[in-house]
Amino acid sequence: MYEKEEHRLIRSTIREFAEQEIKPLARELDERQEFSYEITRKMGEIGLFGMVTPEKYGGQGMDYLSYIIAVEELARVDGSHAATVAAHNSLGIGPLVNFGTEEQKMKYVPPLCSGEALWAFGLTEAEAGSDSRGSKTSARLENGRWIINGSKIFITNGSTTITKGATVQTVSGEADGKKEFSTIIVEADTPGFTARTMKDKMMWRASNTSELYFDDCTVPEDHLLGNRGDGSKIMLKTLDDGRLSIAAMGLGLAQGAYEMAVTHAQTRRQFGKPIANFQAIAFKIADMALKVELGRNLLYKACWLKQTGQEFAMQSAMAKLYCSEIAREVADESVQIHGGYGLMKEYDIERFYRDQRLLQIGEGTSEIQRLVISRYILR
Distance CA 191, CA 112 (A): 22
Tally of CB atoms within 10 A around 199: 8
Q: Which of 21, 73, 350, 363 is catalytic?
A: 363
Contact 195, 163 (CB under 8 A): yes
Residue 70 identity (one-letter amino acid): A
Q: What is the pLDDT of residue 115?
A: 86
Q: What is the pLDDT of residue 230?
A: 95
Q: What is the pLDDT of residue 258?
A: 98
> Domain spans of the chain?
5-117, 119-229, 233-378
| Strand (E) or helix (H) holding 183 | strand 178-187
C-alpha neighbours within 13 Å on the C-beta side of residue 141: 16
Instruction: Identify the CA nearest to 256 among candidates 350, 174, 138, 371.
Output: 350
Distance CA 213, CA 177 (A): 27
Q: What are the pLDDT tens digits along the chain (379 aa)? A: 678 899 999 999 999 999 999 999 999 999 999 999 999 999 999 999 999 999 999 999 999 999 999 999 999 999 999 999 999 999 999 999 999 999 999 999 999 999 899 999 999 999 888 887 889 999 999 999 999 999 999 999 999 999 999 999 999 998 788 899 999 999 999 999 999 999 999 999 999 999 999 999 999 999 999 999 999 999 889 988 889 999 999 999 999 999 999 999 999 999 999 999 999 999 999 999 999 999 999 999 999 999 999 999 999 999 999 999 999 999 999 999 999 999 999 999 999 999 999 999 998 999 999 999 999 999 8
Q: What is the CATH number of domain 233-378?
A: 1.20.140.10
Q: Is 102 a catalytic residue?
A: no
Q: What is the pLDDT of residue 1?
A: 66
C-alpha 346: how far from its chain's center?
Answer: 26
Tally of CB atoms within 10 A around 217: 22
Q: What is the CATH number of domain 5-117?
A: 1.10.540.10
Q: Beta strands 145-156 and 163-175: pairing type?
A: unpaired
C-beta contacts of 92-96 below 8 A and 24+ residues apart: 92/118, 92/119, 92/120, 92/121, 92/157, 92/167, 93/49, 93/50, 93/53, 93/59, 93/119, 94/238, 94/241, 94/242, 95/121, 95/167, 95/183, 95/225, 95/234, 95/237, 95/238, 96/167, 96/185, 96/225
Contact 120, 156 (CB under 8 A): yes
Distance CA 29, CA 79 (A): 12
- Residues 119-229: name the CATH superfamily: Butyryl-CoA Dehydrogenase, subunit A, domain 2 (2.40.110.10)
